[in-house]
Amino acid sequence: MVAKTPILIVEDERQIGELVRLNLHREGYQTHLVESGEEALRYLAAHDVLLVVLDLMLPGIDGKEVCRQLKWNQQTRHIPIIMLTAKGEESDIVSGLELGADDYMVKPFSAKVLIARIRKALRCDETMTTRMDSLSHTRIGSIQIDKDRHEVCVNGIPVNMTGSEFKILMFLASRPGFVRTREQIIEATHGSRVVMSSRTVDVHITSLRRKLGEAGDLIETIRGVGYRMEESSRMAGR
CATH number reported for the structural domain that contains residue 61 in this entry? 3.40.50.2300
Are 10 and 95 in a shared domain? Answer: yes
The pLDDT tens digits of the residues spanning 157-169 come to 999 988 888 889 9
Same domain, 111 and 18: yes
pLDDT at 190 over 90: no
In a domain, 103, yes or no: yes
Q: Would you say 2 and 27 are in contact if contact means Cβ atoms under 8 Å apart?
A: yes
- Spell out the alpha helix ranges (H) of 133-218: 163-174, 182-190, 198-212
Spatial contact of 38 and 61, defined as CB atoms under 8 Å apart: yes
Per DSSP, the three-state class of 134 is helix
Residues 88 and 204 in one domain: no
150 with 187, same domain: the answer is yes
Distance, in Å, from the CA atom of 49 to the CA atom of 80, rounded to the nearest integer, reads 9
Q: Is 1 among the domain residues?
A: no
Q: Identify the residue with better confidence: 231 or 17.
A: 17
pLDDT value at residue 94:
80
Q: Look at residue 95 and tell me if it is in a domain.
A: yes
56 within 8 A of 11, measured Cβ to Cβ: no
What pLDDT is attached to residue 11? 95
Average pLDDT of every residue of the chain: 82
Same domain, 83 and 187: no
More confident residue, 98 or 215: 215
52 shares a domain with 142: no
Which of 104, 130, 156 is a domain's end point? Answer: 130
Whether the per-residue pLDDT at 52 is higher than 60: the answer is: yes
pLDDT band at 132 (very low <50, low <70, confident <90, very high): very low
Tell me what pLDDT residue 88 has. 75
- Kind of pairing, strands 143-146 and 137-140? antiparallel
CA proximity to 23, closest of 158, 114, 120: 114
Looking at the structure, tell me whether residues 28 and 113 fall in a common domain: yes
Q: Which of 190, 216, 56 is nearest to 120 (CA)?
A: 190
Examine the domain organization and report whether 10 and 123 are in the same domain: yes
Does any domain span residue 169?
Answer: yes
User: Do residues 196 and 222 share a domain?
Assistant: yes
Residue 220 covered by a domain: yes
Residue 5 confidence (pLDDT): 58
CA 68 to chain centre: 11
Q: Are 118 and 167 in a shared domain? A: no
The verdict on residue 97 lying in a domain is: yes
Tell me the residue length of the chain. Answer: 238
pLDDT confidence tier of residue 118, bands split at 50, 70 and 90: confident
The least confident of 139-143, 147-151, 157-161, 178-182 is 147-151
Cα–Cα distance for residue pair 121/183, rounded to 1 Å: 16
Residue 80 identity (one-letter amino acid): P
Output the CA–CA distances (angstroms, integers) from residue 238 to 134, 140, 146, 152, 205, in the order listed: 7, 13, 10, 16, 26
Q: Structurally, how many domains does the chain consist of?
A: 2
Judge if 48 and 125 occupy the same domain: yes
Last residue of a domain, one of 112, 130, 148: 130
Q: Of 97, 130, 163, which closes a domain?
A: 130
In a domain, 56, yes or no: yes
Distances in whole angstroms, Cα of residue 6 to Cα of each of 25, 77, 110, 128: 11, 16, 21, 20
Look up the CATH number of the domain holding residue 232. Answer: 1.10.10.10
Same domain, 99 and 145: no
Which residues, 6 or more positions from 11, have their beta carbon under 8 angstroms from its beta carbon? 17, 20, 33, 35, 53, 55, 84
Q: Which domain holds residue 224?
A: 136-237
pLDDT tens per residue, range 61-117: 999 999 989 888 877 888 889 999 888 777 888 888 878 788 888 888 888 989 988
Residues 9-37: tens digit of each pLDDT = 999 999 999 999 999 998 888 899 999 99
